[in-house]
Amino acid sequence: MSRANKGARGNRRDGVGLEEALESARVLICAGTGGVGKTTVAAALALRAARAGRRTLVLTIDPARRLADALGLEGLGSDPAPVVIAGTDGQTGSIPLDAMMLDPKPTFDGLVERLAPDAATRARVLENRIYRHLSEALAGSAEYAALEQVREAVESGRYDLVVVDTPPASHALDFLSAPRRLREFLEGRFVQALVRPAMSASRFGFKVFGQSLHRMMGLVERIAGVGFLDDLSEFLSAVSSLTDGFQAGTSRVEEILVGDDTRFVLVGGARSGQEPGTLEFLDALDELGAPLSAVVLNRIRPWPDEVDATEWLSPGDDQAIARDRARLADALARTGGDDAERDAAMLDEIVREAATARRDAEETRRRIARRVAGRDVGFHLVAERDRDIDGLAGLQRIGEELFDGAQA
Amino acid sequence: MTAPVRPLLDHRLIIVTGKGGVGKTTVACLLAEAARREGQRVLLAETDPIESAAARFERDPDLLGYEGRTLRPDLDAIRIDPHEALAHYVRLQTRLGLVTDRILGSETFRQLLEAAPGWRELILLGKLWHVEQSTDRRGRPTYDLIVVDAPATGHGLTFLDVPRVAQQTVRAGPLARHAGWVEALVHDRERTVLLPVTLPEELPVRETIELVARARSDIDIGVDRIVVNRCPPAPTDALRDVLANPSADLDFEAWPSRTALSGLVEHAHARATLAARERERVSAACDLPVVDLPVLALGAEAGSGWETEAHRVLDEPVWPEADRAGASAA
């Protein structure tokens, strides 16, 4: 990516590729559906930035064991720890790279601890019956708790760049819209009505809202039983006592998400079936006004570049393939294979699968490229690995491949 | 450990679960189709707001919605929308049509729902219970089998725990009683089984191990096998050797070159080795046998012909260590 492009931005404030993001962004968020290798890409990018001398933190969610080993994360809690370079490639010493695990199951408890104005409020929230059982299901709370950890790292001033691996979510907006959803929930009329001090909890408070609300409460109690509404309003008023802290926190988190110094990398899988999720993320990022630096298409299956996979899969070559199978079966029989026919059929299956995977990957690449056409968004391809990540050196090779695989 | 596993189709309710991207919907569709072919009357229930099952059976399908429709003879499908299920439930409870509708449609009620956690999960299970109980005119169950494509939540099995939690939260009233019925269905080994789907890869396997542990400790639901989806083919040594050998003098017409094929086969071998390790790991850690599903060579879209492979999901589950012991003995 040419540095002359620097500063040229589309109206979506896209970045100009990964190089620029690694050089000058303060926050780099790796977004994408689950199971596409987001965590590995985030780690490889962080390592590259640190090698270039920037003080970098990678916040990771759920690394595979070998990746966690490479980053020295095994057994660590959620405090940043320096990544130690054990010189498999001759480079010993340290680089300015810290790694930290985001709490994989962030609970609301941590937030309550942080945001409660006093110990009594904290106890009141944590001991509420509804809270104890159901806080996990409260809209966006887990995602918001993760974002809070990002904010703390950014505001600590200890890092030039924070690379964030986003938690898995069934839908793209779950993560990115968590602050907004939580705030809307807390500012909603219902919650506000329940918690206004003049109207103490319980259904008595609802009477001022008139007949329809009163009837609704009657309906709820008829089904859920007397006492449920008391518990619910107690819960909501306790949670709402945290509102001030939430509101300050959510707006700061949102500033970071769409700030001038933030870039996004969209990681997508090349497997068939992963494309709709990736396109949905593109929509979500656009809706948020997020500056997108690059799209990484990960886990491209090997296939000989000189053969056009789509053409190869088009019907018509059945006779020739049958002759190829016969040739292979002959060769296998000569070398003493015990079931030449089965082996030839298996090769046929492997070739077809590889060709199909390549065709699907190319189709995905074309569709995403069309969507970002005319924007300053880099495009990177990474091959599927056939073994576990081999330490930091392995991670570095993935970083190199990312940039070698860049496409105009 | 070697006791025969009860056939899947002897259950009334099969909850297909797993993280997003493991092929959960595909497995649910295979199972529903296989059961139908075995002569059962089947309901396939989707729970994700974005429908994807009907597209396996029909090109450009209309939405299923809460009413659902028939996709094949003996196979109906619905998508359980929590709001519609709730309205349905409240109407059944109150029999106050218009007033209830007005309350349910009000902005204040919408905000109450935003604020009340857990009701989506509870009402989803409640609907499944209701369908399980329903009978036709002759008093036979409307469906022999209900296959649920469970929510792909980041919170694992939380939704199955909600009936128990709900009873502790509401304590009295019809809701507590109904939650009790739903909880009984979740725990009933005769009627209900959880079917975890995983891929033979490290992270999906780790998540599956956690999921099965929670299913046993927290939820108390039956689980008797794990579906390992997209098992890659493992090339034999004879095949690898013949392609790696330059003197084999192999010129192909349609296939890529021998060296290119050798590259593909070596990659396939490496993948299969990793996959075998993970398949064995998930089986040993969960102490459960596995059902292997191949990569669906035909694809999973309507018209691809995937139905011919549907029966494989009903195969007797196997123990991976036993395979290896058998192989080394041979």
Task: Write down the pLDDT at residue B142.
Answer: 96
pLDDT tens string, chain B, 330 residues long: the values are 456 788 999 999 999 998 877 889 999 999 999 999 999 999 999 998 888 899 999 999 999 999 999 999 999 999 999 889 988 888 888 766 676 777 777 777 776 776 666 788 889 999 999 999 999 899 999 999 999 999 875 555 777 888 887 787 776 778 888 999 999 999 999 999 999 999 998 888 988 998 999 899 988 999 999 999 999 989 999 999 999 988 877 888 888 999 999 999 999 999 999 999 999 999 999 999 999 998 876 677 888 888 998 999 999 999 997 666 555 444
Domains of chain B, by residue range, sit at: 9-230+295-312
Chain B contact for A403 (CB, 8 A cutoff): no
DSSP secondary structure letter of residue A270: -
Chain B CB within 8 Å of residue A326 CB: no
Do B144 and B35 contact (CB within 8 A), yes or no? Answer: yes
Say if residue A344 is in the same domain as residue A400.
no
A4 in any annotated domain: no
Could you tell me whether strands A56-60 and A406-407 are parallel, antiparallel, or unpaired per DSSP bridges? unpaired
Residue among B20, B265, B106 nearest A170 (CA): B20
Task: Decide if A389 is inside a domain.
Answer: yes
Q: Taking a C-beta distance cutoff of 8 angstroms, is the pair A121, A111 a contact?
A: no
Question: Which spans in A30-177 are helix H?
Answer: 38-51, 65-71, 108-115, 119-127, 129-134, 141-155, 172-176
Helix (H, G, I), strand (E, B) or coil at A388: coil
SS3 A297: strand
In a domain, A7, yes or no: no
| A236 to B169: CB separation less than 8 angstroms, yes or no | no
Quote the ipTM score: 0.77
Helix (H) or strand (E) holding A269: strand A262-269
How far lies B273's CA from each of B276, B278, B279, in Å?
5, 9, 10
Asked if residues A57 and A27 have their Cβ atoms less than 8 Å apart, the reply is: no
Pair type for strands B226-231 and B192-198: parallel
**Contacts for B79 with CB less than 8 Å, ≥ 6 apart:** B45, B46, B47, B48, B49, B51, B63, B64, B65, B66, B68
Judge whether B233 is closer than 8 Å to chain A, CB to CB.
yes
User: Are A161 and A25 contacting, i.e. CB atoms less than 8 angstroms apart?
Assistant: yes
Helix/strand/coil for A317:
coil
What is the nearest CA distance from B248 to chain A, expressed in angstroms?
7
Whole-angstrom Cα distance, residue A96 to residue A51? 8
Residues spanned by the domain of A329: 309-357
Burial class (CB in 10 A: 0-12, 13-18, 19+), B1: exposed
For residues A107 and A71, membership in a common domain is answered with: yes
Say yes or no: A137 and A201 in one domain.
yes
C-alpha to C-alpha distance for B215 and B227, rounded to whole angstroms: 16
User: Which chain A residues are closer than 8 Å to B295 by Cβ?
Assistant: 353
> Is the CB of B171 less than 8 angstroms away from the CB of A347?
no
| Residues A113 and A161 grouped into a single domain | yes
- The whole-number mean pLDDT for each consecutive block of 10 residues of chain A, a chain of 408 residues, reads 36 67 93 82 93 91 75 66 60 76 63 76 73 58 74 90 80 68 67 53 48 66 70 69 72 81 89 76 84 90 90 81 89 82 89 89 89 85 84 88 72
Predicted TM-score (pTM) of the model is 0.83
Query: Given the DSSP bridges, would you call strands A378-383 and A406-407 parallel, antiparallel or unpaired?
Result: antiparallel
Q: Packing angle between helix B258-286 and helix B237-244, nearest 10 degrees?
A: 150
Spatial distance between the Cα atoms of A129 and A339, rounded to a whole number of angstroms: 65
* Residue A337 falls in which region: left (phi positive, over 0), alpha (psi -120 to 50) or beta: beta
Residue A18 lies in a domain: yes
A333 touches chain B (CB under 8 A): no
Whether A9 is covered by a domain: the verdict is no
Whether residues B116 and A351 touch (CB distance < 8 A) is answered with no
Kindly give the interhelix angle for A211-224 and B82-94, rounded to the nearest 10 degrees: 90
Asked if the Cβ–Cβ distance from B168 to A336 is below 8 Å, we say: no
Segment 27-66 of chain B within 8 Å of chain A by CB: 48
Q: How many structural domains comprise chain A?
A: 2
Taking an 8 Å cut-off on Cβ atoms, the answer to whether A223 and B236 are in contact is no
Contact call for A212 and B102, based on CB within 8 A = yes
**Residue A352 sits in the same domain as residue A373:** no
- Answer whether B42's CB lies under 8 Å from B73's CB: no
Nearest to A136 by CA among A110, A168, A115: A110
Minimum Cα–Cα distance from A388: chain B residue: B274
Partnered with residue A97 across adjacent β-strands are A56
User: Same structural domain for residues A192 and A243?
Assistant: yes
Nearest partner of A371 among A251, A286, A290, judged by Cα:
A286
| CB environment A208-224: b (16+ within 10 A), e (fewer) | ebeeebebbbebbbebb
3-state SS, residue A315:
coil
Whether residue A348 sits in one domain with residue A402: no
Report CB contact under 8 Å: A304, B257: yes
Short-list A84, A41, A135, CA closest to A389? A41
The strand pair at A81-85 and A378-383 is best described as unpaired
Residue A139 near chain B (CB below 8 Å): yes
Residues A178 and A225 in one domain: yes
- CA torsion sign for A146, A173, B122, B135 is negative
Burial class, B27, CB count within 10 angstroms (exposed 0-12 / middle 13-18 / buried 19+): buried
Query: Is residue B264 less than 8 Å (CB to CB) from chain A?
Result: yes
Taking a C-beta distance cutoff of 8 angstroms, is the pair A99, A60 a contact?
A: yes
Strand bridging mode B69-72 / A378-383:
unpaired
Q: Can you give the pLDDT at residue B325?
A: 59
Scanning every residue of chain B, which has its alpha carbon at the shortest distance from the alpha carbon of A352?
B297
The CATH class for the domain spanning B9-230+295-312 reads alpha beta
Number of C-beta neighbours around residue A118 at 10 A:
9
Do residues A291 and A335 both lie within one domain?
A: no
A164 and A293 share one domain = yes
For the beta carbon of residue A389, count every other beta carbon within 10 angstroms.
23
Q: Is residue A94 part of a domain?
A: yes
Q: Which residues of A touch B249 (CB under 8 A)?
A: 331
Same domain, A138 and A283: yes
- Please state, in angstroms and rounded to a whole number, the distance separating the CA atoms of residues A97 and A126: 36
Q: What is the pLDDT of residue A192?
A: 63
In a domain, A71, yes or no: yes
Query: Which two structure tokens, joined as six digits, stand for A77?
Result: 């809690």
The dihedral formed by the CA atoms of A193, A194, A200 and A206, expressed in degrees to the nearest 10: 70
Task: Kindly report the nearest CA distance between residue B10 and chain A, in angstroms.
Answer: 31
Best of A33, A74, A170 to disrupt the B interface by mutation (most B CBs within 10 Å)? A170
Q: Give the distance from residue B138's alpha carbon to the nearest chain A alpha carbon, in angstroms.
A: 31
| A402: amino acid identity, one letter | L
CB contact under 8 A, B151 and A190: no
The answer to whether the CB atoms of B103 and A317 lie below 8 A apart is no
A15-to-A29, B66, B176 alpha-carbon distances in Å: 12, 43, 54
Which of B106, B114, B172 has its CB closest to that of A212?
B106
A291 and A384 belong to one structural domain:
yes
Q: Give the span between the Cα atoms of A191 and B45, in whole angstroms.
A: 33
Distance CA A143, CA B90 (A): 32
- Print the SS3 string covering chain B: CCCCCCCHHHCCEEEEECCCCCCHHHHHHHHHHHHHHCCCCEEEEECCCCCCCHHHHCCCCCCCCCCCEEEECCEEEEECCHHHHHHHHHHHHHCCHHHHHHHHHCHHHHHHHHHCCCHHHHHHHHHHHHHHHCECCCCCECCCEEEEECCCCCCCCHHHHHHHHHHHHHCCHHHHHHHHHHHHHHHCCCCEEEEEEECCCHHHHHHHHHHHHHHHHHHCCCCCCEEEEEECCCCCHHHHHHHHCHHHCCCCCCCCCHHHHHHHHHHHHHHHHHHHHHHHHHHHHHCCCEEEEECCCCCCCCCCCHHHHHHHHHCCCECHHHHHHHHHHC
pLDDT at A11: 40
Is there a domain that residue A69 lies in? yes
Contact list in A for residue B115 (CB cut-off 8 A) is 185, 188, 190-191, 194, 232, 236
Question: Is B93 near chain A, with CB under 8 Å?
Answer: yes
The domain that holds A254 is classified in CATH as: 3.40.50.300
CA distance B69 to chain A (A): 25
Q: Across the interface, which of A34, A136, A137 has its CB nearest the CB of B20?
A: A34
Q: Which of residues 24-63 of A touch B (CB under 8 A)?
A: 33-36, 62
Q: How many beta-carbon pairs below 8 A join chains A and B?
A: 229
> pLDDT at position A77, please?
56
Closest CA to B29 of B44, B10, B40, B11: B44
Calpha distance A341→A283 (Å, rounded): 48
